[in-house]
Structure 1
Amino acid sequence: MNDTGETAVRLGRISYLNVLPIYYPIESGNVRGPLSVVSAPPAELNLLARAGKLDVSACSSFEYASAADDYFLVPDLAIGSRGHVRSVLLLSRLPVAKLDGKSVRVSYQTHTSVALLKLFLQQRVGVDVTYTTGDVTRALASGERPDAFLAIGDEAMRLSAHPDYPHRWDLGSVWLDWTALPFIFGVWIARRAAAAENPGPVREACRALVEAKDWSKARPELVAELAAAQGGFTVPDMRTYFEGLVYDFGEREKDGLSVFFEKLEGARIIPKAPKLQFLEM
């Protein structure tokens, strides 16, 4: 129970700046709902949701594709881009066409971005690389210099101008050039079991998330200021960053996500492209 006597819905929060517009209104009390917030990297939230330890959560698109039978999508809410995203970057010491046979360092924290990178390099560029997993920031600080690496979230923005990696590809732009569609990196899901057990609180929590999106959309300057203060970036940088993100889940975003799933199935990265099934609000 929360302090109003309602059943508290366990809500997963990605620990990145890009979801600040969704969670700040809730955490500050400007938008209310029966919510208890749990913050973690995307991969950890996926594990918590699968274990039944979250009811509603931000979730990687890849996680939804991997366990769609366990989840409903929250309508009208996603996180993606219609081009340049700035926070999902492939940085390389070599031109991308010369990465064949080379190694690319990726983070364990993201499944969707790694899957998109594999599709890009295999199908769009036509190179075969070896993927290794590890902490990129720590490796660079120790003097290690992988041939290329995938950076996501706040780390991507901090490393985007690294002098040893002059070749940079924004994966949001890569996808738009390839498909002419938005790319959805993450969604919000409600566990089907939670929606069946506590339908009222779960739906109220999901409505609060959409309300929070609208609250922040009406206050872009405040969002930029808050993100700059939290992340150590400038307000103009954050303003530009959030202008490049998509939080709506309209028809084109649905098309973009469905095409991504179809490509994953075609590449045998997932066994079958799932249908998009939404929680009835």
Structure 2
Amino acid sequence: MAAIRLGQVEYLNCLPVYHALEEGLIPFDGELVKGPPTSLNRLFLEGNLHITPASSIEYARHPDRCIILPRLSIAADGRVASILLFSHLPVTELEGRKVLVTTSSATSVVLLRVLFEHYYHVEVEFCPAPPDLTTMMAMGDGALLIGDDAMQAHQQVIQQGLPLLVTDLGQAWKDFTGEKMVYALWLIRRDFAEAHPEETTALAELLFQARQVGMADLPALIQKARRRTGLPLPVLEDYFTIIRHDFDESYRRGLLTFYDYAYKSGIIEERVRLDIWGEK
């Protein structure tokens, strides 16, 4: 069997899972392939990754090609601090305006579409753009950023006193539905999992244990995050208290609610069930 190629999103929200692998605290005899979510989504669907954290909407678009690994996600219960809409006007006043959306994300763009249609009842023009706040805001009236880009842009707004409003999409989703939001899932290629069931079970356990080890040493995570991003310590300490990696029934319910709204908006063609490895 070829060496396992494991995707790694280069954002802080993945650090608790990958810290132990990067530092050799848990042995992993495979290759870490780093990139933004949309890049890893593409590599996975092209067959160039065995496992990856993938935008949760991608599972709904390709349920026949992948299986969800258990006990792991990237999620939040309300405020998420790294999925942010920056705007010149209040969200409810953006009717007919142009909103730039980062090319780094899939799930967050769909979430924004769902919120505009079903929560705010506002119709806007979405335009993809590279993740740069200044350029995006010069081109339109709103900008969606995710991950470290969003957190650093938020600090830019605060430090420079920019006249921009900041909407946390995780909080907006919670206000709208009362549910948690799952932004990413760890997916494994269905053909690989079915051909290598023992290895798949072992890989699922390895990732779960890596997350446990990472979260057991938050000071080390925070220091590594500060070196990588330069974000202030209070921001990082707050972030690692609100980002979640669980995937219990409450998170699954929130994810299925998200899929239902994506279906109502015509973003996915049919409702999907969650096919989770090791569960019948």
Greater alpha carbon shift after TM alignment, 155-164 vs 120-129: 155-164
Partner of 1:46: 41
User: Among residues 224, 228, 231, which one is paired with 1:230 in the alignment?
Assistant: 228
8 Å CA contact 2:99, 2:142 repeated in 1: yes
Q: What is the letter of the counterpart of residue 58 of structure 1?
A: P
User: Among residues 117, 120, 132, which one is paired with 2:115 in the alignment?
Assistant: 120
CA distance in 1, matches of 2:30, 2:256: 30
Q: CA deviation at 1:150?
A: 0.3
SS state at 1:79 partner: strand
Partner of 1:4: none
SS state at 2:193 partner: helix
Partner of 2:12: 17
Please show how residues 76-225 of structure 1 align to structure 2 within 5 Å.
76-137=71-132, 140=134, 144-161=138-155, 162=157, 163-225=161-223
SS state at 2:176 partner: helix
Given the alignment of the two structures, is residue 68 of structure 1 paired with residue 68 of structure 2, yes or no? no
Q: CA deviation at 1:201?
A: 2.6
Greater alpha carbon shift after TM alignment, 128-137 vs 245-254: 128-137
Q: CA deviation at 1:136?
A: 3.8
Partner of 2:254: 256
CA displacement 1:188-235 (0-9 Å, x = unmatched): 011111112333333222211100111112112221111111111122
Distance 1:90 1:192, change over 3 A: same
SS state at 1:113 partner: helix
CA distance in 1, matches of 2:146, 2:252: 22
4+ aligned runs moved over 3 Å, structure 1? none
Greater alpha carbon shift after TM alignment, 258-267 vs 230-239: 230-239
Q: CA deviation at 1:236?
A: 2.3
Q: What is the letter of the counterpart of residue 32 of structure 2?
A: V
Which structure 1 segments of 5+ residues have no match? Answer: 2-6
8 Å CA contact 1:93, 1:164 repeated in 2: no
SS state at 1:151 partner: strand
Q: What is the letter of the counterpart of residue 87 of structure 1?
A: S
CA distance in 1, matches of 2:104, 2:123: 22
8 Å CA contact 1:83, 1:182 repeated in 2: yes
Of all paired residues, the percent bearing the same amino acid is: 31
Distance 1:204 1:183, change over 3 A: same
CA displacement 1:56-95 (0-9 Å, x = unmatched): 1110001111101111101000001001111000110011
Which structure 2 segments of 5+ residues have no match? Answer: none
SS state at 2:78 partner: coil
SS state at 2:273 partner: coil
Q: CA deviation at 1:165?
A: 4.4
8 Å CA contact 2:60, 2:259 repeated in 1: yes
8 Å CA contact 2:129, 2:136 repeated in 1: no
TM-score (norm 1): 0.93
SS state at 1:29 partner: coil
CA displacement 1:105-150 (0-9 Å, x = unmatched): 001211100000011111111111001111241x625982521110
Greater alpha carbon shift after TM alignment, 76-85 vs 234-243: 234-243
TM-score (norm 2): 0.93
Q: CA deviation at 1:258?
A: 0.5
Greater alpha carbon shift after TM alignment, 234-243 vs 72-81: 234-243
